[in-house]
Amino acid sequence: MKTNLKAVLTGTHTLSGNEAFIEGAFAAGCRFLAAYPIMPAIETIERYLKRSAEVGATFIQMEDEISALAAVIGASWTGKKSMTVTSGPGFSNMMEHLGLGVMLETPCVIVDVQQSGPSLGIPTRAGQGDMMQARWGSHGDYEVITLSPSSPQEMFDFTIKAFNFSEKYRTPVIIMSDEYVAHKKEKVIIPRADEIKITPRRYFKGQKDKYLPFKRDKDFVPRMVDIGDGYKFHVTGLTHDDKGYPIMLEECQEYNVHPILWKIRNDTEKIIEFQEIGTKDAEIVIVYYGATSGAASKAIKQARDLGIKVGSLKLDTVWPFPDKKITELAEKVKAFVVPEINYGQIVSEVERCSYGNANVVFVSHGENGIDNTEDIVSAIKLALNEEKIKKGIIEYQSQTGRV
Amino acid sequence: MEPLRKTEKDIHPMDDLLRMDRIPHIWCPGCGIGTAVTAFAAGLAKAEIDLTKTCIVSGIGCTGRVAGYVKLDSFHTTHGRAIAFATGIQVANPDLKVIVFSGDGDLISIGGNHFIHAARRNINMLVICVNNFIYAMTGGQVAPTTPLATYATTSPFGCVEPPFNIPYLADSSGAVYVARWTALHVRRLTNSIAEALKKPGFSVIEVISPCAMYYSRINRLGDGLDMMKFYHDNTEIRHGEDTKNLDIGFQTKIIVGKFVDRERPTYMDSYNKWLSGTKKD
Amino acid sequence: MKANPRDVNTGTYYMDGDVAAGHGALAAGCRFIGGYPITPSTEAAETFARIAPKAGAVFIQMEDELGSIASVMGASWSGVKTMTITSGPGYSLMMEIIGLGAMIEAPFVILNIQRGGPSTGVPTKTGQADMMQSRWGSHGDYEIIAISPDSPQELFDYTIKAFNLSEKYRCPVMIMSDECVGHMSEKVVIPPAEEIEIEPRRFYNGPKEKYLPFKPDQDLVPKMVKAGDGYNLYITGLVHDERGYPITNQKEKGKRQQFPTRRLVDKIRLNADKIIELNEEGMDDAEVVVVSYGISYRVAIRGIEKAREKGIKVGNLRLITVWPFPDKKITELASKVKAFVVPEINYGQIVFEVERCSHGQANVVLIPHGGAGVHNPDDIAEAIEYAVKEKKKIRKVIEWKTRLEKFVFEGGYKLNK
């Protein structure tokens, strides 16, 4: 399926991450945005409104973030590709409806432009403190797909990918951007519309009275129809059977929820993407994602200049986590170095998957924020000099130390 | 002669509008929600609208289960968010008529913010709010509509909070159609629903309903039938009454009728006007 | 400090877990609960509403869960011990303000009677699938304490402990119970007030002009004052300095200082050993250790018995505090045993923590359960048996295929008869 021409701004542009996101969304076929204004995601709404008339897309500013995601889920069932944008505090408010989106198996995209948290934190400063929240923030069991772009170009590309994943797996997909990527202006190349691959919605095409909204295909993904097409279907956030009718039984819970996890867990190989550079002969591998990419790449270069064999693994999809890749690397390398703008989130996943075969050195959110190249280089040296394998994460202490 | 389809008692004129495969429903004997659903189904038939382009959204609670029994595209969503969910449906596809069918706790307490904002925006939807003065699904807690001094499990010494007057709230927030009936006024309620279904904009119909299991048991008001008798003796129809005067106290007189029927541009009217303006630039 | 006799309804009762938690809260000195009705936690709120007035405490039913938790936050800074009561969906709504609580270091307790999820799920039946959410549900970095009681008596006892921990560390404390424990009726002994130890609030006693609301003591926890005592407090959810004033640039005044939110995680991480409470049994010669919490622990006991009848040496580790996670204990055990078996009523949450801390030294077997019921002890016994026999080191969590899963997906189970 190809996209409408007006929606794709083919050419080379200078765009911020937030703007590139909107262009990506339009190119992917998104036509509905419900949001509530929040720093530092606000520019997305402005860009959307600027372009919405020519694209033919709808926007509504809702009264809070809770209703924004509720409206997005409602809109998605009318057949429009829908999304919402927010930042940490708004993302926290969306947690209940993230669960509803999972339970109703509704394709939608959520962008979290992360700021420094918790609570109001520092709205104008980048953070990566919501990574675990994206995976675990709503109650009950579910799986999500989470992408982490590190530049405006990736923001554009990943947004299209996110919409495609959401349609393919009928699940909410989260893009974990951050203040740094959102406000960074860079060259963004937007390809021709016919070069952009779009996954169409998986519609049901059988007899009207035979439609079951939660009857799963072989890959556990059910098919959708639009409201108003005469199917008279029912869906509910309660545990339900194929018809979408609630059944309050242990067996139904198993029947309903386990496949929701399987549709992602059994397909991780196809979902997970990462960029692996120089890991073949590496002693140390830096695992990073999103905003830390800049500092990490610089640090890798500096360390290589010093003659240290450093490889890098940049996570494009953070969830599902590339367990196998890390386990495989752990057997070959001496240590992982994980820089994050938080106090330890993805690093514990790296620790989990390394099975005691490699040390894990964590470079936390220091006083320099994202410009912590020096800290990363020192952490690489620390990792190199550590002979024994330690049980537990080794935290690199920046010069300032603890309070 | 046309043969009987099954037996005569199996057939009901509303079978086409209800999900008969889900009957029996979950409501207790003496509850008024079933009556409200019957009136709604009759109203749907009477309004003669395109049912394919009509959908229903409910929140959580006893009334929240209504969506599951009505044979339209139906959504049972999260607590308090039915109106927000319906807003998304309506704005993304303005051809659809959305009905939000939920309870007082769901719409006025946890969903109170969405209620006033959707009314302010004049989103094209019909909100049917069944008011039984209590949270019945969770076992009889105090609700935003519980009259002063009324007992509930979380107000064991009598409710100390003044209740919301739902028509007044809807009116002052900008709703274009506001009516109130009880579960006893089936015919008038049906007509009201049929009328409101054709009205563009944010319409609200409050349906006062007995809760025989909790509200009347905790307050010793008898069973469902006693409550219906009470409505019979203590309701007064006053069309066009100022919504300010519609407070309900504990077992006081209930004023019913159609209070507001006015014209305002809907959200989509204003939106399209704005959109056509920007296109010209 | 001892509990106030006015708050303690001493005696021996037959009550369910929710009711016991309501009594526990009052006994701990709770003076304010803001709640919103949600199955299956409502009985706790109803109990508190009934017994609170004679002890001078307040119950308010707020308009939603956002309102509940926000009111609790305010009440906490007005100087009283506070709690809110909820279940999964309400808990999800509270996420933003839990972050605020962590940031402004308000002591408060959340009672979460978990039910089957996600979304509305199975409101009337059990689940344990909010465990990771309790740790990670709000945005940004913070740490919390989570306790998982397994009986009505424990819901009484550990509610008191939860209040004590929240006052001591000035952080959110979650009681992560579940519907089974909440609705289970058992004997509950409420001891006399003089036997109940309660932690008073850490009030500041120095000169007014010297008070800094976020200046930490040795153990990284600052002292509190009440609103209305003339300190002219400024409390914000923005990142703030010791005065409580927002800072947007941490290099302010050229002073090199650690980013202030660091302390929010350190005060729990560095005190973890003091907080963690575990219950272990049969560890000495164990080949396999069953790690469980809450209602799963009580089911696991039967599974362990069955395995022991077959001569298998099984240890039993119960997490009473689930967060902070007992990293050291698991790592230490991992070097001694062959495998861990983790039964939990979810599709894998705490099991990943066990996997992380075992550092590849022991296999990890998950016995999942989607909720709306508890495990079959036979599944647990069989998984133990398998774990003992497995010679290979398996580099992933081994997901045990339960009887329920086989029945539903392979056994020809029909949902709509």
Domain residue limits, chain A: 11-195, 274-396
Residue of B nearest to C67 (CA): B110
B208 touches B214 (CB < 8 A)? no
Distance CA A244, CA A234 (A): 6
C49–B155 CB contact, under 8 Å: yes
Q: Is the pLDDT score of C64 beyond 50?
A: yes
Confidence (pLDDT) at A403? 34
Nearest-by-Cβ selection for B113 from A63, A68, A100: A63
Closest CA to B100 of B181, B207, B19, B5: B207
| A11-195 and A274-396 in the same fold | yes
Number of CB pairs, chain B paired with chain C, less than 8 A apart:
51
| Averaged pLDDT for residues A228-245 | 93
| Mutation target vs B (from C51, C59, C62, C63; most B CBs, 10 A cutoff) | C63
Residue of A nearest to C237 (CA): A120
pTM attached to this predicted model:
0.92
Six-digit token string for B10: 């199996």
| Mutation target vs B (from C61, C71, C87, C416; most B CBs, 10 A cutoff) | C61
| Averaged pLDDT for residues B97-120 | 95
Q: Which residues of chain A lie closer than 8 angstroms to C396, CB-CB?
A: 323, 327
Residue window 317-346, chain A: list those with CB within 8 Å of chain C.
Answer: 323, 327, 342-345
Residue B43, C-beta contacts closer than 8 angstroms, at least 6 positions apart? B189, B190, B191, B192, B193, B194, B197
* A241 Cα to chain C: minimum distance (Å): 7
Q: Chains near C, with 3+ CB pairs < 8 A?
A: A, B
Tell me which of C258-262, C269-273, C328-332 is least confident.
C258-262
| Averaged pLDDT for residues A51-61 | 91
Residue window 104-163, chain A: list those with CB within 8 Å of chain C.
Answer: 104, 112, 114, 116-125, 127, 129-130, 132-133, 135-142
Q: Is the pLDDT score of C252 beyond 70?
A: no
**Residue B45 lies in domain:** 13-280
Confidence (pLDDT) at C195? 96
**φ/ψ of residue A120, rounded to 5:** -70, -25
Distance CA C284, CA C266 (A): 33
Q: Is residue B224 part of a domain?
A: yes
- Quote the radius of gyration of chain A (alpha carbons, Å): 22
CATH number of the domain enclosing B208: 3.40.50.970
Q: Which residues of chain B lie closer than 8 angstroms to A104, CB-CB?
A: 75
Confidence (pLDDT) at B93? 92
Confidence (pLDDT) at A398? 63
Nearest-by-Cβ selection for A258 from C92, C119, C405: C405
Is residue A371 very low, low, confident or very high in pLDDT (cuts 50, 70, 90)?
Answer: confident
| CA separation, residue B279 to residues A34, A384, C355, C386 (Å) | 21, 61, 58, 68
A253–C140 CB contact, under 8 Å: no
Q: Is the pLDDT score of C260 beyond 80?
A: no
Six-digit token string for C150: 């397994």
Distance CA C98, CA A90 (A): 13
C258 touches C242 (CB < 8 A)? no
Q: Which residues of chain B lie closer than 8 angstroms to A256, CB-CB?
A: none
Residue window 53-72, chain C: list those with CB within 8 Å of chain B.
Answer: 53, 59, 61, 63-65
Residue of B nearest to A81 (CA): B92
Distance CA C238, CA A36 (A): 19
Residue A298: exposure state from Cβ atoms within 10 A (0-12, 13-18, ≥19): middle
| Averaged pLDDT for residues C38-48 | 94
First to last CA, chain B: 67
B92–A236 CB contact, under 8 Å: no
| Averaged pLDDT for residues A14-35 | 96
Residue of C nearest to A127 (CA): C140
Is residue B1 very low, low, confident or very high in pLDDT (cuts 50, 70, 90)?
Answer: very low
Is residue A276 very low, low, confident or very high in pLDDT (cuts 50, 70, 90)?
Answer: very high
Number of domains forming the structure of chain B = 1
Is residue A336 very low, low, confident or very high in pLDDT (cuts 50, 70, 90)?
Answer: very high
Q: Is the pLDDT score of B233 beyond 60?
A: yes
pLDDT tens-digit series, residues A188-220:
999 999 999 999 999 999 898 899 999 999 999
User: Does residue A389 sit in helix, strand or coil?
Assistant: coil
Distance CA B267, CA B252 (A): 37
Q: Is residue B6 part of a domain?
A: no
Residue A282, C-beta contacts closer than 8 angstroms, at least 6 positions apart? A309, A310, A311, A332, A333
Confidence (pLDDT) at B15? 86
Distance CA B27, CA B29 (A): 7
Residue window 107-166, chain C: list those with CB within 8 Å of chain B.
Answer: 119-120
B84–A75 CB contact, under 8 Å: no
Residue C263, C-beta contacts closer than 8 angstroms, at least 6 positions apart? A403, C216, C220
A19 touches A43 (CB < 8 A)? yes
Q: Which residues of chain B lie closer than 8 angstroms to C50, CB-CB?
A: 156
Is residue C300 very low, low, confident or very high in pLDDT (cuts 50, 70, 90)?
Answer: very high
Q: Which residue has the higher pLDDT, C252 or C204?
A: C204
Is residue A368 very low, low, confident or very high in pLDDT (cuts 50, 70, 90)?
Answer: low
Q: Which residues of chain B lie closer than 8 angstroms to C38, CB-CB?
A: 79, 138
The reply to whether B55 touches chain A by the CB within 8 Å rule is: yes
Closest CA to C148 of C128, C163, C169, C165: C128
A60 touches A196 (CB < 8 A)? no
C138–A238 CB contact, under 8 Å: no
User: Does residue A5 sit in helix, strand or coil?
Assistant: coil
What does CATH list as the number for A11-195? 3.40.50.970
Q: Which residues of chain B lie closer than 8 angstroms to C53, CB-CB?
A: 157
Confidence (pLDDT) at A399? 53
Q: Is the pLDDT score of B277 beyond 80?
A: no
Q: Read out DSSP for C338-391?
A: SEEEEE-SSSSSHHHHHHHHHTTSSEEEEE---SSS---HHHHHHHHHHHHH--
* ipTM of the complex, rounded to two decimals: 0.93
Residue of A nearest to C126 (CA): A250
Q: Which residues of chain B lie closer than 8 angstroms to C45, CB-CB?
A: 141, 154
The reply to whether C20 touches chain A by the CB within 8 Å rule is: no
Q: Is the pLDDT score of C255 beyond 70?
A: no
Residue of B nearest to A34 (CA): B88
The reply to whether C83 touches chain B by the CB within 8 Å rule is: no
Q: Read out DSSP for A151-207?
A: SHHHHHHHHHHHHHHHHHHTSEEEEEEEHHHHH-EEEEEE--GGGS--PPP-B--S-
Q: Is residue B229 part of a domain?
A: yes
C169 touches C145 (CB < 8 A)? yes
* B96 Cα to chain C: minimum distance (Å): 26
Closest CA to A63 of C199, B196, B118, C399: B118
Q: Is residue B119 part of a domain?
A: yes
B76–A235 CB contact, under 8 Å: yes
| Averaged pLDDT for residues B82-88 | 94
Question: Could you tell me what percent of chain B has a pLDDT over 90?
Answer: 84
Confidence (pLDDT) at B41? 95
A34–B88 CB contact, under 8 Å: yes
Q: Is the pLDDT score of C221 beyond 60?
A: yes
Residue A398, C-beta contacts closer than 8 angstroms, at least 6 positions apart? A363, A364, A366, A367, A368, A372, A375
B195 touches B16 (CB < 8 A)? no
Distance CA A246, CA A347 (A): 39
B92–A233 CB contact, under 8 Å: no
Q: Is residue B89 part of a domain?
A: yes
The CATH fold assigned to A274-396 is Rossmann fold (3.40.50)
A159 touches A17 (CB < 8 A)? no
A254–C408 CB contact, under 8 Å: yes
Confidence (pLDDT) at A4? 64
Q: Read out DSSP for A263-321?
A: HHHTTHHHH--EEEES-TT-SEEEEE-GGGHHHHHHHHHHHHHTT--EEEEEESEEES-
| Averaged pLDDT for residues A59-66 | 92
C53–B79 CB contact, under 8 Å: no
Confidence (pLDDT) at C253? 41
Residue of B nearest to C65 (CA): B110
Residue C171 neighbours by CB distance under 10 Å: 24
Q: Is the pLDDT score of C120 beyond 60?
A: yes
Closest CA to B84 of A162, C66, A317, A70: A70
Specify the length of chain A in residues: 403
DSSP A224: B
Q: Is residue B3 part of a domain?
A: no
Residue A160, C-beta contacts closer than 8 angstroms, at least 6 positions apart? A24, A27, A28, A196, A197, A198
A140–C118 CB contact, under 8 Å: yes
| Averaged pLDDT for residues C83-101 | 95
Q: Is residue B2 part of a domain?
A: no
Residue A396, C-beta contacts closer than 8 angstroms, at least 6 positions apart? A337, A361, A362, A363, A364, A375, A378, A379, A382
B171 touches B259 (CB < 8 A)? yes
* C131 Cα to chain B: minimum distance (Å): 21
Six-digit token string for C311: 């001569």
Question: Could you tell me what percent of chain B has a pLDDT over 70?
Answer: 95
The reply to whether B56 touches chain A by the CB within 8 Å rule is: no
Confidence (pLDDT) at B4? 45
Confidence (pLDDT) at B279? 56
| Mutation target vs C (from A141, A260, A331; most C CBs, 10 A cutoff) | A141
Handedness of CA A24, A25, A31, A33 (dihedral sign): negative
B87–A74 CB contact, under 8 Å: yes
C61–B155 CB contact, under 8 Å: yes
Q: Which residues of chain A lie closer than 8 angstroms to C405, CB-CB?
A: 254, 258
pLDDT tens-digit series, residues C129-146:
999 999 999 999 999 999
| CA separation, residue A396 to residues A84, A131, A402, C267 (Å) | 37, 20, 11, 18
Residue that has been written with the tokens 């009473």 in this structure = C320
User: Does residue B91 sit in helix, strand or coil?
Assistant: helix
Distance CA C129, CA A258 (A): 13
Residue window 192-221, chain B: list those with CB within 8 Å of chain A.
Answer: none
**Domains of chain C, CATH where assigned:** 1-275 (3.40.50.970), 280-409 (3.40.50.920)
Per 3-state DSSP, what percentage of chain A is helix, strand, and coil (rounded to 5)?
40, 25, 40
Conformational region of residue B257, where left means phi above 0, alpha means psi within -120 to 50, and beta covers everything else: left
Distance CA C196, CA C189 (A): 12
B154–C120 CB contact, under 8 Å: no
Confidence (pLDDT) at C132? 96
Mean pLDDT of chain B: 92
| Averaged pLDDT for residues B156-183 | 95
B78–C120 CB contact, under 8 Å: yes
Is residue C256 very low, low, confident or very high in pLDDT (cuts 50, 70, 90)?
Answer: very low
pLDDT tens-digit series, residues A300-318:
999 999 999 999 999 999 9
Residue window 26-85, chain A: list those with CB within 8 Å of chain C.
Answer: 66
pLDDT tens-digit series, residues C314-340:
999 999 999 999 999 999 999 999 999
Helices A293-305 and A373-385, packing angle to 10 deg: 50
Residue that has been written with the tokens 């029945």 in this structure = C407
